[in-house]
Amino acid sequence: MARHILHVDQNCFYASVEMQRHPELRDKPLAVCGSQEERHGIVLTANYLAKPYGVKTGMAIWQARQRCPNLVILPPDMDEYIRFSRMARDIYEDYTDQIEPFGLDESWLDVTGSVGLFGDPMSIAREISGRIKFELGITASIGVSDNKITAKLGSDYKKPDAITRIEADNYKEIAYPLPVEDLLYVGPATSRKLRAIGIRTIGRLAECPVDVLVRRLGKMGAVLHTFANGRDVSPVQRSDHIPNIKSVGNSATTPRDLETEADVKLMLYLLAESVCARMRELVSRCTVVEIYVRDTQLNSIVRQRKLQAPSCSSQELAETGLDIFRRNYRWDRPVRSIGLRGAGLVEAQGTVQLSLYTEDQKRDKWERIDTAVDHLRQRYGYMSVRRALMDSDPLLGHINVKDGHTVHPVGYFGG
């Protein structure tokens, strides 16, 4: 039986919520931006009056002001955005219990079992669109298809406040001419690789031999070929589905630029303590350590290494991350932000083969020390126990990365 999938994308979500709260700003170019004082001074989202000036998500505030001198800038209010997101979900749940969020402002809905009650998928999409507009005072673009990837393509096709159906009968007509970057999971790096072999549109990607793509992109090449041909069998997870967490990561834009290896070491130890504490809460250990580094020109690198044995030792993760950094960063510019991730999580419980190797014995001791520190911090507060290293820099050493910065992203392939 053919599926009926909707992808609902609330237009310029943060800005739309702010315009709903502040009607006097509806006719002005507006952007919701991070805090300049905390060095997160970038555009998070801009309304449609700001976009013609060239104001884009991720742009520095000073750049946005250069392009649009009359730009109204507001700080984000995440509690309010979460409230609107929950109200939108309440609307979706009137039509299906198969709802999979993709961020606060986007969700996939499987309405296959709902057409008998509410009419065809286009009718359901129109009803949801109308209710979002009437009940929340914002607009949404909705893609209608038989799979998640193409439904997402449909919601991006026309904005704002549009409904686009893309299915087998019109797929090639609509999708094939679109830039390859419009396909979900074709990011800048993948786009460069595809364009290097002459693939600039979704149609060219769909018609390219799979073996060529696999040689160029690895196994992801076959996945993207399937997506480009309008095929995707992944299910929309039910609203009570809890995805398996595959990795735990933490990153921070530091209050000052990191200019020496000592600065980087301090930050990696801070991040490792937070990441490992999260892993212990999940009763897990990681098998891969990954670092993310962004310099002052916003150029970034991501590098990773497989561990010899699963670990949740902050000492081991920090030292591994530092070694990865040393081998891959050339110090052309200072570091603006840095992240550490433990990936390939495995269960920490179960029978473990005892080892006579010194490194394994050290790992066990480090993990037991970390556990003891966890208990002390839970009782007396995060800052009650700290490494002496943290006192070498009062500004960086007093960052509470565990409570202030941690995010658990769930990717599309994680479910």
Query: Hey, which residues are catalytic here?
Result: 106
* Distance (Å) of CA 40 to CA 61, 217, 256, 269, 409: 9, 33, 12, 22, 19
What tokens were used for 53? 């000036």
Query: What 3-state class would DSSP assign to 311?
Result: strand
Cis peptide before 23 (omega within 30 of 0): no
**Residue type at position 361:** Q
Using DSSP bridges, classify how beta strands 106-110 and 99-101 pair: parallel, antiparallel or unpaired.
antiparallel
Does residue 157 contact residue 143 with C-beta atoms inside 8 Å?
yes
Query: What 3-state class would DSSP assign to 304?
Result: strand
| E-only strand ranges, 259-375 | 284-295, 300-311, 335-343, 346-347
Does residue 308 contact residue 277 with C-beta atoms inside 8 Å?
no
Rg, C-alpha atoms of the chain: 24
Listed in sequence order, the residues at least 6 apart from 358 whose beta carbon sits closer than 8 Å to its beta carbon are none
Q: What share of the chain is helix, strand, coil (3-state, %, to 5)?
A: 45, 20, 35
Q: 293 - beta bridge partners?
A: 301, 338
CB atoms within 10 A of CB 347: 10
Listed in sequence order, the residues at least 6 apart from 330 whose beta carbon sits closer than 8 Å to its beta carbon are none
Listed in sequence order, the residues at least 6 apart from 70 whose beta carbon sits closer than 8 Å to its beta carbon are 28, 29
